[in-house]
């Protein structure tokens, strides 16, 4: 396959570049408006009980769960006659708005839940109907007419619809800023690595093709399913990061062949037959890791799989087809425009980069294989210590606090958290289909009485009245008619607990355990969190099995060993646990919050984030694993000496992996400058994972463990060895039979 690919690229390089230009132009046109079609939710399981409750509530009750809240501030007090008159006018205006249902205000219902304890704030809650996109459009049109000063009151807007709108707007701003930061820094690092502006531009070109191509693919996917707005952030990060990885690997091998005396055509063919195989293999490994997220029903996670798989495959295709064509057109001009020579006393001979990096990595490799026990124990202890905080992780849902502190929705909900006795925007919905509230009044009253006695419940509103602490506190009236229709009834449980706290999750389980006189579904924010965690726990073993199993098969095809793939999975998991521990220490426990952008410490980690980070970071770790192992295996096939192969592999790949990790970390840190805490966690967490993997795992742990294992690294049962002999691949070409080494060879004996 790679021989045919080499013939294709060397035969018509300019035609390939012209077609690539057409592809990029078409992708820009097709994917230009993709951001407007992306959604801000998708963190819940559509089949979960809470999701079923939400759909039933939306279908049967026009005034279902409120997703819009007007926070009315009155310095004179919410009960002042002038304030009350203005608030009632606002309520009537909102009631008359198209696509707004179920408007309820403190001044109409006189519910204590809608009045702050200090009497300075009152709430008007409502539901903006329609899909997420339709609700966003309605809110965008309404908000300017309600926000701001209205005589004696000031109005701010909150609710789930406003949170979603602000998240989408902020995400677009953050993405634009990240690209402005990442692109020039990426180019600068590549110039320093290649010492040629021409060579440095090539991976950036591949990255841009990958990004615009993925945007176009996401635009197509939105025609069939929902896609999260956050998928664009991963597109940028992986588009640049993996393009640099693959570009570095291919350009380095091309220059190696070119400076060895091969003409450009021969150099390209050799590069594709060696480094090209490794790049294709690495891309397949990363894509497999990312595809594990397709096993989860939440479109938030699936969106990252859509984006990740697309960007990996497009980046690999561009690196294997477009990049060789560019190399052929450039020929020996690949070393042109050495911008670093002004900082050096003497330019490198022939325009090539000096091998200082290779010498440094050779010295590191020699030190590690000389004292493998010391390095292995130290590295493992370091990773375990970093991972320890993850034992105290608490999971939660994404809420308004992921927005910056000056965001309107964040400020509104912070006032509600601090000043209201209950959480009117975070109530739990207990929905019963086919239950007529008028004919089942006694049953509903008895059930509401029982629910109101549960710890953490302030009151329960139902068609039979309002209940608190086991007694009726408000007789049924016109305001209670909203809780029943001819087809269903529901009870609104108002908690005093934080929406996503462990106590609120316990309350959900307690409600579900209460015997009910009719079948019910429990929904609401805390119920969604409980169901999300249950779904993740249910699907995670299958995702891990698929990801790890396929990855081990692919690594076996490359190495011919069953030990090396197992070692890679174990060490990568150990590295990622350290990253998760750091994530908990910083974002859950609040350390370094001022240094990292003064984010809001919530005391929990979003439940879907570790799954997302594990899949992405595992794929990137295997990317680097493939690069290092390919050179180690190439040397081992040539000499049969594992110790020598380890040192050779680090010397030849250490600089490439470090440079690739540096570039990817820069891109991820740029993503981590996001004002949205969830994206900040993802960007900074993945940057730490990449650096940890490139420096500690690839530079220390992998070579020390491989040195300790010695010949055992390459063990496989006879049938599997024969299978690898037929189907295996390596950077050095078809796998050669390992050189027989006598058992007395000292460098091959395990330490």
The residue with greater pLDDT, 477 or 446, is: 446
- For the residues of 128-157, what is the DSSP string, one character each? E-S-HHHHHHHHHHHHHHHSEEETTEEEEE
Q: How confident is the model at residue 306 (pLDDT cuts 50, 70, 90)?
A: very high
Q: What is the pLDDT of residue 340?
A: 56
Q: Which of 227-241, 335-349, 388-402, 710-724 has the lowest mean pLDDT?
A: 335-349
Q: For the chain, what percent of residues have pLDDT higher than 70?
A: 92
Q: CA-to-CA distance for 667 and 687, rounded, in angstroms? A: 8
Q: Is the pLDDT of residue 381 over 90?
A: yes
Q: How confident is the model at residue 727 (pLDDT cuts 50, 70, 90)?
A: low
Q: How confident is the model at residue 653 (pLDDT cuts 50, 70, 90)?
A: confident
Q: Is the pLDDT of residue 21 over 90?
A: yes
Q: Is the pLDDT of residue 736 over 50?
A: no
Q: Which of 97-106, 354-363, 479-488, 555-564 has the lowest mean pLDDT?
A: 354-363
Q: Could you count the other beta carbons within 10 Å of the beta carbon of residue 69?
A: 25
Q: How confident is the model at residue 447 (pLDDT cuts 50, 70, 90)?
A: very high
Q: What is the pLDDT of residue 739?
A: 39
pLDDT in tens, 314-340: 999 999 999 999 988 888 787 776 665
746-751 long-range contacts, Cβ below 8 Å, gap at least 24?
747/641, 747/642, 747/643, 747/644, 748/641, 748/642, 748/643, 748/710, 748/711, 749/710, 750/708, 750/709, 750/710, 750/711, 750/712, 751/372, 751/373, 751/707, 751/708, 751/710
pLDDT in tens, 121-169: 999 988 888 777 788 888 888 989 999 999 899 999 998 888 888 888 8
Region 275-284 average pLDDT: 84
Q: What is the largest CA-CA distance in the chain?
A: 98
Residue 512 three-state SS = helix
Q: Is the pLDDT of residue 302 over 70?
A: yes
Q: What is the pLDDT of residue 154?
A: 94
Region 68-80 average pLDDT: 91
Q: Is the pLDDT of residue 749 over 50?
A: no
Q: Could you count the other beta carbons within 10 Å of the beta carbon of residue 744?
A: 7
Q: Which of 24-28, 275-279, 496-500 has the lowest mean pLDDT?
A: 496-500
Region 463-488 average pLDDT: 86
- The pTM for the full model equals 0.82
Q: Could you count the other beta carbons within 10 Å of the beta carbon of residue 623?
A: 28
| H-helix or E-strand spanning residue 239 | helix 231-259
Q: Which of 302-306, 365-369, 682-686, 747-751 has the lowest mean pLDDT?
A: 747-751
Q: For the chain, what percent of residues have pLDDT higher than 90?
A: 22
Q: What is the pLDDT of residue 511?
A: 93
Region 593-615 average pLDDT: 82
The string over 382-414, giving b where at least 16 C-beta atoms fall within 10 Å of a residue's C-beta and e elsewhere, is ebeebbebbeeebbbbbbbbbbbeebbbbbbbe
Q: Is the pLDDT of residue 406 over 60?
A: yes
Q: How confident is the model at residue 514 (pLDDT cuts 50, 70, 90)?
A: very high
pLDDT in tens, 201-242: 888 889 889 999 999 999 999 888 888 888 888 888 888 888
Q: What is the pLDDT of residue 449?
A: 94
Contacts of 96 (CB under 8 A, 6+ apart): none
* Mean pLDDT (the chain, rounded): 84
Q: What is the pLDDT of residue 745?
A: 38
Spell out the domains of the chain, with CATH numbers in brackets: 1-31+195-339 (1.20.1640.10), 66-165 (3.30.70), 363-392+560-734 (1.20.1640), 427-529 (3.30.70)
pLDDT in tens, 619-651: 888 888 887 888 888 888 888 888 888 888 888
End-to-end CA distance of the chain: 41
pLDDT in tens, 253-266: 888 888 878 888 88
Q: How far is CA 12 from CA 6, 8, 16, 253, 722, in A?
A: 10, 6, 6, 21, 38
Q: How confident is the model at residue 730 (pLDDT cuts 50, 70, 90)?
A: low
pLDDT in tens, 344-367: 544 443 333 445 567 888 888 889
Q: What is the pLDDT of residue 209?
A: 92
Q: Could you count the other beta carbons within 10 Å of the beta carbon of residue 28?
A: 15
pLDDT in tens, 525-549: 889 889 999 999 999 999 989 888 8
Q: Is the pLDDT of residue 740 over 80?
A: no
Q: Is the pLDDT of residue 553 over 90?
A: no
For residue 332 the two structure tokens come to 């020996």
């Amino acid at each position: 396959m790679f021989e045919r690919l080499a013939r294709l690229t060397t035969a018509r390089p300019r035609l390939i570049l012209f077609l690539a230009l057409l592809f990029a132009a078409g992708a820009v046109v097709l994917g230009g408006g993709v951001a407007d079609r992306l959604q801000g939710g998708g963190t819940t399981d559509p089949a979960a009980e809470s999701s079923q409750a939400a759909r039933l509530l939306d279908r049967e009750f026009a005034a279902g769960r409120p997703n819009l809240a007007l926070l009315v501030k009155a310095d004179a007090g919410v009960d002042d006659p002038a304030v009350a008159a203005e608030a009632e006018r606002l309520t009537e205006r909102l009631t008359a708005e198209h696509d707004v249902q179920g408007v309820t205000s403190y001044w109409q219902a006189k519910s204590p839940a809608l009045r702050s304890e200090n009497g300075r704030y009152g709430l008007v809650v409502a539901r903006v109907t329609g899909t997420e996109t339709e609700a966003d459009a309605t809110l965008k049109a309404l908000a300017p007419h309600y926000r701001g000063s209205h005589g004696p009151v000031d109005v701010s807007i909150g609710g789930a619809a406003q949170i979603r709108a602000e998240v989408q707007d902020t995400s677009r701003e953050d993405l634009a800023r990240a690209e402005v930061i990442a692109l020039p820094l990426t180019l600068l690092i590549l110039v320093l690595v290649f010492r040629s502006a021409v060579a440095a531009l090539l991976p950036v070109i591949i990255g841009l093709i990958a990004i615009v191509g993925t945007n176009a693919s996401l635009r197509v996917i939105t025609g069939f399913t929902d896609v999260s707005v956050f998928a664009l952030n991963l597109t940028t990060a992986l588009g640049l990061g993996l393009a640099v990885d693959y570009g570095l690997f291919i350009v380095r091998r091309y220059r190696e062949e070119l400076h060895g005396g091969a003409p450009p055509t021969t150099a390209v063919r050799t590069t594709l037959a060696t480094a090209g195989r490794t790049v294709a293999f690495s891309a397949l490994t990363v894509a497999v890791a990312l595809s594990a997220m397709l096993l989860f029903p939440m479109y938030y996670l699936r969106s990252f799989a859509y984006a990740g798989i697309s960007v990996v495959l497009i980046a690999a295709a561009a690196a294997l087809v477009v990049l060789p064509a560019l190399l052929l057109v450039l020929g020996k001009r690949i070393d042109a425009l050495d911008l670093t020579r002004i900082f050096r006393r003497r330019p490198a001979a022939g325009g090539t980069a000096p091998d200082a990096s290779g010498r440094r990595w050779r010295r590191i490799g020699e030190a590690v294989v000389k004292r493998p026990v010391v390095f292995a124990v130290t590295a493992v202890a370091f990773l375990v210590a970093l991972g320890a905080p993850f034992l105290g992780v608490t999971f939660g849902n994404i809420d308004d606090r992921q927005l910056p502190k000056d965001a309107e929705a964040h400020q509104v909900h912070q006032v509600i958290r601090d000043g209201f006795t209950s959480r009117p925007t975070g109530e739990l919905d207990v929905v019963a289909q086919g239950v007529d509230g008028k004919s089942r009044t006694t049953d509903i009253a008895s059930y509401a009485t029982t629910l109101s006695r549960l710890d953490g419940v302030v009151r329960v509103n139902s068609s039979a009245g309002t209940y608190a602490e086991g007694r009726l506190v408000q007789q049924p009236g016109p305001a209670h008619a909203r809780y029943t229709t001819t087809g269903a009834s529901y009870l609104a449980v108002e908690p005093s607990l934080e929406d996503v706290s462990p106590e609120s999750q316990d309350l959900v389980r307690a409600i579900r355990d209460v015997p009910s006189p009719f079948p019910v579904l429990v929904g609401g924010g805390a119920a969604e969190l409980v169901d999300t965690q249950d779904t993740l726990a249910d699907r995670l073993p299958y995702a891990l099995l698929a990801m790890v199993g396929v990855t081990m098969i692919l690594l076996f095809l490359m190495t011919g060993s069953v030990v090396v793939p197992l070692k890679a999975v174990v060490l990568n998991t150990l590295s990622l646990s350290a990253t998760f521990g750091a994530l908990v220490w910083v974002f859950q426990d609040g350390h370094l919050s001022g240094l990292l952008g003064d984010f809001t410490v919530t005391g929990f980690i979003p439940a879907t984030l570790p799954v997302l980070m594990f899949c992405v970071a595992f794929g990137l770790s295997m990317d680097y694993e493939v690069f290092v192992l390919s050179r180690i295996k190439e040397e081992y096939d040539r000499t049969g000496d594992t110790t020598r192969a380890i040192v050779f592999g680090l010397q030849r790949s250490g600089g490439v992996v470090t440079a690739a990790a540096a570039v990817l970390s820069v891109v991820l840190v740029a993503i981590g400058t996001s004002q949205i805490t969830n994206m900040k966690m993802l960007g900074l967490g993945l940057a730490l994972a990449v650096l940890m993997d490139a420096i500690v795992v690839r530079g220390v742990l992998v070579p020390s463990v491989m040195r300790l294992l010695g010949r055992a690294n390459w063990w496989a049962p006879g049938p599997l060895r024969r299978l690898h002999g037929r189907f295996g691949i390596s950077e050095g070409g078809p796998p050669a039979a390992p050189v027989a080494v006598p058992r007395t060879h000292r460098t091959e004996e395990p330490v």
